[in-house]
Amino acid sequence: MGKIILHVGPHKTGSTYIQKYLYLNREVLSEHGWVYPEPIELNPTIGHYGHIKLGIDETQISYYLNHYQGKRIIFSSENLYTLENEQIGRLFKSIFDAGFEEIVVVFYARHPVERLYSMIKELIKGGWYYTIPEFLSIYLLKPFTRKEVNYTIFLDTIKKFSSKIVIVDYEHFSKTSLLLPLLELMGIPPDRLNLTNDIINQGIKIEFVEILRWLNLKFANSGINPSGYKVFSIVRQVLLTNSKLKEKLTILQNALSQYKKSITVGSFISSSLESLLLKKYFNNFYKGAHESWDREVVIDYISEEWVLNKYLLEILDELYESSVNFDRIRINILKTIYDGKSRKIVYAAVRNTNKEIYEIKPTNLNIETIYIKERKDWNLLCIVPVEISQIQLIVRYKDNSEDTVELKL
């Protein structure tokens, strides 16, 4: 009989830290009878060590379970917290149908307003362009109806499928190591991993958050999806190649700090959400540890008054033009399908090149690519062995020039 631990996040509760330690210490886990499957989307370059699409791409769970039938497995994906009820039901059904009779769900509970603030900045980094006050109004006007802050909504759904729910208090265990509860649940001595509480996913300053938000809005208004265009990544590359613009951006950030304002969210919301969580799930808290959420939270943001400053807008417009015209080919992955055996089929779109492409070929002979110029939705198909997480493509143009593109799967 197999056993599974599902670490479900949510976002901004140390998941990247946990996943990195689990991945890098798979041999230690194996010595104690546990498997942390190598994630299909493994990408250490950008800090992806988790099972990102578990439950989203429903072929993934079958792939993992077929490879580790009857084992004791730990999965980690903060995206599990975002699943719809029907997706959660299908995920649990797949696990039970594969013969795994015990599922322990591990949930990290962080002060909901503090987590929300971190999550909002991450959403803007990912392409959203609402202001921080707008985000707060969306999530906090009716907090008991919002899964983002009312954790019981998710836990009530999980309870329908698994009675074994462990809640880890984020504030309490972040003082030692967020990984400790998971190791103890697996029966692994903590000293085997040389634990520290490193911050893996560093946050960004509020001034740069505002710059990204405004760029996202400009891209969206010009008809370009800022999420698909990966504005944050492009901006970083532009600044690496343009020192003068980088200097101007420093001026812009320093100026924006003069427009910083704050919203104080009183303790009533968080303490009310806390009372509901404790009423329903107090006995599920690991070792009974919980630190109170009864405190105010100060939310910093940049007032939009700065847009009246013509000089600052000119700097931002220059950064926008440099980003939108950044001279490099991009290949955006749109969808990945797993055949349940040994291959994954990657659908991608080739963007941002004025030169006519002759062919796109992988450097790995085990990978097959199909480029179809005329397609509007996707125009590149890659058939890849499932264990490969990164491929290198040679793009040859009709003028005999070529580019090399690395694709993280």
Confidence of residue 158 (pLDDT cuts 50, 70, 90): very high
Residues 6+ apart with CB under 8 A from 363: 391, 392, 393, 394
Q: Which of the two residues, 376 and 385, has the higher pLDDT score? A: 385
pLDDT value at position 202? 67
Start-end ranges of CATH 3.40.50 in the chain?
A: 2-112+141-192
Best CATH choice for the domain 2-112+141-192 from the list 1.10.540, 3.40.50, 3.30.2310, 3.30.70: 3.40.50
Start-end ranges of CATH 2.60.40 in the chain?
A: 330-408
pLDDT value at position 197? 63
Q: What would the pLDDT profile of 110-148 be if each residue is shown by its tens digit?
A: 999 999 999 999 999 999 999 999 999 999 999 999 999
Residue 226 has pLDDT above 80, yes or no: yes
pLDDT value at position 336? 86
Please state, in angstroms and rounded to a whole number, the distance separating the CA atoms of residues 222 and 231. 13
pLDDT value at position 242? 87
Please state, in angstroms and rounded to a whole number, the distance separating the CA atoms of residues 75 and 84. 18
Q: What would the pLDDT profile of 209-220 be if each residue is shown by its tens digit?
A: 999 999 999 999
pLDDT value at position 229? 67
Confidence of residue 390 (pLDDT cuts 50, 70, 90): confident
Residue 46 has pLDDT above 90, yes or no: no
pLDDT value at position 198? 63
Which class does domain 330-408 fall in?
A: mainly beta
pLDDT value at position 271? 98
Rounded percentage of the chain residues whose pLDDT exceeds 70? 95
Section 20-33 average pLDDT:
94
Which among 391, 398, 308, 409 is positioned nearest to 356, based on CA atoms?
Answer: 398
Q: Are 238 and 321 in contact (CB under 8 A)?
A: no
Number of H helices, E strands in the chain: 15, 14
pLDDT value at position 400? 77
Residues 6+ apart with CB under 8 A from 154: 8, 10, 81, 107, 147
pLDDT value at position 260? 97
Q: What would the pLDDT profile of 69-104 be if each residue is shown by its tens digit?
A: 889 999 999 999 999 999 999 999 999 999 998 999
Q: What would the pLDDT profile of 336-352 be if each residue is shown by its tens digit?
A: 888 766 788 888 888 76
Q: Which of the two residues, 401 and 393, has the higher pLDDT score? A: 393
123-127, 162-166, 182-186, 199-203: segment of lowest average pLDDT: 199-203
Confidence of residue 48 (pLDDT cuts 50, 70, 90): confident
194-198, 289-293, 336-340: segment of lowest average pLDDT: 194-198
pLDDT value at position 165? 98
Helix (H) or strand (E) holding 6: strand 2-7
The pTM score is 0.81
Q: Which of the two residues, 33 and 240, has the higher pLDDT score? A: 33
Which among 33, 80, 36, 32 is positioned nearest to 58, based on CA atoms?
Answer: 80
Both structure tokens of 384:
């890849």
Confidence of residue 200 (pLDDT cuts 50, 70, 90): low
User: For all residues of the chain together, what is the average pLDDT?
Assistant: 90
Q: Which of the two residues, 290 and 348, has the higher pLDDT score? A: 290
Q: What would the pLDDT profile of 249-279 be if each residue is shown by its tens digit?
A: 999 999 999 999 999 999 999 999 999 999 9
